[in-house]
Amino acid sequence: MGGSRSRRRDVCTGAALVAALALPASTGAAYAVQAPPGILATAPAPPSPSSDDGAFRTLTPQVRAQVDAAVQRILREAGIPGVIMSLSAPGKGSYERAYGVADKATGAPMETGFNTRIGSETKTFTVTAMLELVDRGALKLDDPIAKYVDGVPNGGKITLRDLADMRSGLFNYTEDDAFLKALQDAPRRPMTPQQLLDYSFKHPVNFQPDAQFEYCNTNLILLGLVVEKAGGQPLADFLRENVTGPAGLADTFLPTGAEFPLPHAQGYTDQGGGPREVNATDWNPSWAWAAGAMISTVRDLRSWARTMATGTLLEPRTQAQRLQPRSKFDANIAYGMGVFLTNGWIGHNGSLPGYESVTVYLPEAQATLVLALNTDNVSDGQEPSTLLAQAITSIVSPQHVYTVPATPATPPKPKPSPSS
């Protein structure tokens, strides 16, 4: 998408596994369960089957060459500066590579060890923290949000389960015009969780709890506050001590401000409010907080894909509930608690100005796919991370092509001013 086009997208994509799994960006940020006709038509045709297809093909030199060619083609066609990719499966091999540039000005190449902003993949961490507290008996999934946070519209009816399942009916704060203006006027200014909720709560609810699915970042801000109250410490600390620490993710954390450790790529976006692409590397992600502000590395995310999808940190019963979706888009795509299930893959995508990511796990083959991009610019109505994930999985897992229903992640792009 160019600067001359308008676009409304959910913050943090959350946008990226099916978040984002995200419907094509052109469909808008909010969507109902019954809304996604034609989603599967966006997936590329799989290659001709071979004797090694199965659930996940062996990463031979020939398969790697096919992946390389597909990635490089999409980088050219979609104008993606760079991407880091990791593929792995027991008995099938592993392949990690960086493509393209990390800095357009200097031409410095992408490198596999870079830190990256992961957008709505943050949701998988926040929901895991909440579910750990369920396992401890500190809260219940059917508790109303009013028990923990005051002033929530329909707060006595909306449960924690509704929030995690994206079935609350609350207005998505990243769709509020005043929020968008504040972010675009001062993208480096910090925002508090209460400020974010204020943008949401001035709007009436969109529907009654559990009436339908609608991807909404407000839900995760509330769950972040629930974790803080029930866990007795700031969310960043709780995640470090109870989620990323036990999972062995040394380079994954929720920043408390705009900090972004080196090394990292420069992030490019056309969501700056003007007609030109801008560098969003140093924008403050506090506006995304528990919905999309975390930082990680591809290697950490590769580990997290399995941990999250198999429920290592949770009781088996709790993990089973997490992966039992109340929202299904079709026979192959659904949303559980803070996680997408898409054509056999389990995980999430992420998107915020300048960066996108995908982290998914295929239980059938114990395979992982991780992508980290340094742009969120949409190409022909598709998130760039979706284009790459579809192309790669059409090669390595042709029976399980990554497919998404909409774009829930970065802040929507406003209409440009007349002067632009």
* Tens digits of residue pLDDT in 250-288: 999 999 999 999 999 999 999 877 778 999 999 999 999
Domain total for the chain?
A: 1
* In-domain check, residue 109: yes
Query: d(Cα 183, Cα 283) in Å, to the nearest integer?
Result: 9
Q: Which domain holds residue 249?
A: 25-396
| CATH number assigned to the domain comprising residue 51 | 3.40.710.10
What's the rounded Cα separation, in Å, for the pair 377 and 278? 11
pLDDT in tens, 186-211: 999 999 999 999 999 999 999 999 99
Tell me if 8 is assigned to some domain.
Answer: no
Distance CA 276, CA 420 (A): 9
Confidence bin at 373 (pLDDT 50/70/90): very high
Tell me the pLDDT tens digit for each residue of 300-311: 999 999 999 999
Q: Taking 70 as the threshold, does the pLDDT of residue 23 lie above it? A: no
Is 378 part of any domain? yes
Measured N-to-C along each axis, helices 298-310 and 122-135 cross at an angle, to the nearest 10 degrees, of 40
Residue-level pLDDT at 52: 60
Tell me if 168 is assigned to some domain. yes
Contact 132, 313 (CB under 8 A): yes
Q: Considering the domain boundaries, does residue 418 fall inside one?
A: no
10 domain-assigned: no
Q: Global pTM?
A: 0.88
> Nearest-CA neighbor of 372 among 396, 352, 344?
352
pLDDT at 9: 47
* 311 within some domain: yes
Q: Considering the domain boundaries, does residue 43 fall inside one?
A: yes
